[in-house]
C-alpha cells in the first residue's frame, strides 16, 4: 500500500518553517508497513493544489494532506477540496458544537470567522479536532483516499493516531512490520558502530535492517523487518537483540517496543522513581532548568518530583544551597566539590531521597584553558550514596545543555539500580 504526503503552505516554500509534519507522518506510516512514495510541498494556490491532488492520485492509495485549513483568507485548502470533489461547503453540526464548545470553554465569543471552521465539503467524513478548531476531512475519488488535516503538529498528530491509522488498518491488508529500538546513552555513533560491527554484519542475511538514530548524547538503534508471519518476525528480531545486549550493556537505558511510543529517558527515570517510591530534587546551574522541564513534561511527575533550584550565580549557590565560599575560591563553581555540596543540600532542601546537581560552562562564553566550553560536572545522590563525574561536551550551548541533562538523568538511573558506570 502506497501513501503520499502533501504539505500546503507558502511558509514551507519560503523556508520559514521546517516540515516536521512529513517526518512524523512518514515514521508512523512506515511503522505500520505503509510505503511513502512521494512527499511534496506546494503553495496556497488553487490550480497548484488541484494539480498536486491529481498527480498524487496516480501514485498513491492514500494522500495525507496538511496545512491551509486556518480560518484566515490565505488558507484555501477546504475550498479547493470542494472544487476537486465537485461539491460545496456545508456546516457540520458536530463540528459547530466542537468549535462553539472550544470558545465557550475559553470564555471567548464565537465570531463569524470561527463559525466558518465548522464548514466541511458535503459528503466528506469528518475527523473531529480535539485540540483546535479546524476539522480533518476524509474523502475518496478514483480509488484514492484524500485526508486533509490542519498543519498544527499536535492537532494533526492526534488525528493521525486516533482516527486515520485505525481506519487505514481496517481498510488495507498490511504486512507486519516489526521494529525494536534499543535506546543508548553515553556513547557516540561511530564508537557504537565499531563495538557492534561483527554483529551488524550478520543482520543482512536475516533480512533485518539496522538504523542509527542519533540525538544529543544518545543513539537509538532501530532493528526492523517486514513479513506476514508476525510471531516469526518478532522472534527473529528478539534473537538479535539478545545477541547485541552483552556487547553494549552499560549504554542501554531502555527499549522501544513495537507500536508503542519511544519512551523518553525522563519517562523511564520517572517510572523508576515512582516504583521505588523515591522523591527527586534538582539543582541546575549550566542546564538552567532544562532537566526540571524534562522531568515535569511527564504527566504525573508531581508524584515523584519535589522541585528545583537554579542558582545562576555563586551567590545563590551559597545562599540557597549552602555551598561554602571556600569551594568557589579553591575549586571554582565548575568542580566536583561544588556539585557534591549542591547535591547534598538539594536532598535536604527538597526533603528528597534522590537528587541531581550540575554545574558547567554551556558556552559560547566563559571557557578557560583549564575548563573549556563544554566542561560539566554532574553529581547524583541516592540517600548517602553520591557519585560525581566530569564531562567535556562540545561548543554548542543548546547541545551542551541537552547532553548534560541526558547524562545526568542516566547517571541517577544507574545509581538507583546499582549499575556500574
Least CB distance to its own copies at residue 201 (A): 9
Residue 377's φ and ψ, nearest 5 degrees, are: -110, 135
Give the alpha-carbon dihedral of 159, 160, 165, 168, to 10 degrees.
90
Q: Which residues pair with 397 in a beta bridge?
A: none
Shortest Cβ distance from residue 382 to its own copies (Å)? 19
Q: Please state whether beta strands 119-121 and 89-91 pair in parallel, antiparallel, or not at all (unpaired).
A: antiparallel
**Cβ-based nearer residue to its own copies, 176 or 316:** 316
**How near is the Cβ of 333 to its own copies at its closest, in Å?**
11
Grid cell in block for residue 293? 522541564
Q: How far is the CB of 11 from its own copies (least distance, A)?
A: 6
| Nearer to its own copies among residue 94 and residue 351 (C-beta) | 351
Return phi, psi of residue 202, to 5°.
-85, -5
SS3 string of 319-381?
Answer: HHHCCCHHHHHHCCCCCHHHHHHHHHHHHHHCCCCEEEEEEECCCCCCCCCCCCCCEEEEEEE
Closest separation in Å from C-beta 418 to its own copies: 27
- Do β-strands 144-149 and 136-141 pair in parallel, antiparallel, or remain unpaired? antiparallel
Q: Which is nearer to its own copies, 235 or 319 (CB)?
A: 319
Q: Which one, 86 or 261, has the nearer CB to its own copies? A: 261
Min separation Cβ 217 and its own copies, Å: 12
Nearer to its own copies, 38 or 140 (CB): 38
Give the span between the Cα atoms of 71 and 117, in whole angstroms: 6
Complex with its own copies: residue 123 or 350, whichever CB lies closer: 350
Which grid coordinates belong to 99? 468549535
Amino acid at each position: 500500500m502506497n501513501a503520499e504526503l502533501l504539505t500546503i503552505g507558502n511558509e514551507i516554500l519560503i523556508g520559514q518553517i521546517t516540515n516536521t509534519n512529513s517526518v512524523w507522518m512518514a515514521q508512523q506510516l512506515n511503522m505500520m508497513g505503509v510505503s511513502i512514495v512521494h512527499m511534496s510541498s506546494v503553495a496556497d494556490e488553487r490550480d497548484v493544489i488541484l494539480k498536486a491532488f491529481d498527480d498524487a492520485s496516480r501514485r498513491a492509495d492514500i494522500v495525507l494532506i496538511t496545512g491551509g485549513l486556518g480560518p484566515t483568507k490565505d488558507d484555501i485548502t477546504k475550498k479547493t477540496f470542494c472544487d476537486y470533489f465537485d461539491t460545496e461547503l456545508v456546516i457540520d453540526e458536530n463540528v459547530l458544537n466542537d468549535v462553539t464548545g472550544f470558545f465557550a470553554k475559553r470564555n471567548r465569543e464565537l465570531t463569524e470567522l470561527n463559525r466558518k471552521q465548522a464548514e466541511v465539503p458535503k459528503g466528506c467524513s469528518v475527523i473531529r479536532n480535539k485540540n483546535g478548531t479546524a476539522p480533518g476531512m476524509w474523502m475518496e475519488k478514483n480509488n484514492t483516499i484524500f485526508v486533509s488535516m490542519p498543519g498544527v503538529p499536535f492537532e494533526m498528530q492526534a488525528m493521525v493516531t486516533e482516527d486515520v491509522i485505525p481506519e487505514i488498518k481496517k481498510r488495507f491488508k498490511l504486512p507486519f512490520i516489526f521494529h525494536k529500538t534499543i535506546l543508548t546513552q553515553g556513547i557516540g555513533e561511530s564508537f557504537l558502530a565499531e563495538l557492534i560491527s561483527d554483529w551488524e554484519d550478520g543482520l543482512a542475511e536475516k533480512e533485518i535492517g539496522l538504523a542509527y538514530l542519533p540525538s544529543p548524547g544518545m543513539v537509538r538503534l532501530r532493528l526492523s523487518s517486514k513479513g506476514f508471519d508476525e510471531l516469526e518476525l518478532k522472534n527473529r528480531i528478539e534473537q538479535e537483540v539478545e545477541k547485541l545486549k552483552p556487547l553494549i550493556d552499560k549504554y542501554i537505558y531502555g527499549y522501544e517496543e513495537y507500536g508503542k511510543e519511544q519512551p523518553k529517558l525522563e519517562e523511564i527515570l520517572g517510572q523508576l522513581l515512582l516504583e521505588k517510591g523515591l522523591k527527586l530534587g534538582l539543582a541546575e546551574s549550566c542546564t538552567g532548568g532544562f532537566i526540571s522541564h524534562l522531568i515535569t513534561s511527564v504527566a504525573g511527575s508531581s508524584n515523584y518530583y519535589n522541585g528545583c533550584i537554579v542558582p545562576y550565580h555563586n551567590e545563590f549557590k551559597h545562599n540557597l544551597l549552602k555551598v561554602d565560599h571556600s569551594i568557589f575560591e579553591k575549586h571554582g563553581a565548575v568542580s566536583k566539590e561544588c556539585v557534591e555540596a549542591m547535591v547534598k543540600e538539594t536532598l535536604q532542601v527538597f526533603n528528597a531521597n534522590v537528587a541531581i546537581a550540575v554545574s558547567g560552562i554551556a558556552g559560547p562564553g566563559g571557557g578557560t584553558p583549564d575548563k573549556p566550553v563544554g566542561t560539566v560536572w554532574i553529581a547524583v545522590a541516592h540517600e548517602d550514596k553520591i557519585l560525581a563525574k566530569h564531562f567535556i561536551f562540545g561548543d554548542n550551548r543548546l547541545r551542551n545543555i541537552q547532553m548534560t541533562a541526558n547524562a545526568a538523568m542516566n547517571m541517577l538511573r544507574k545509581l538507583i539500580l546499582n549499575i556500574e558506570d
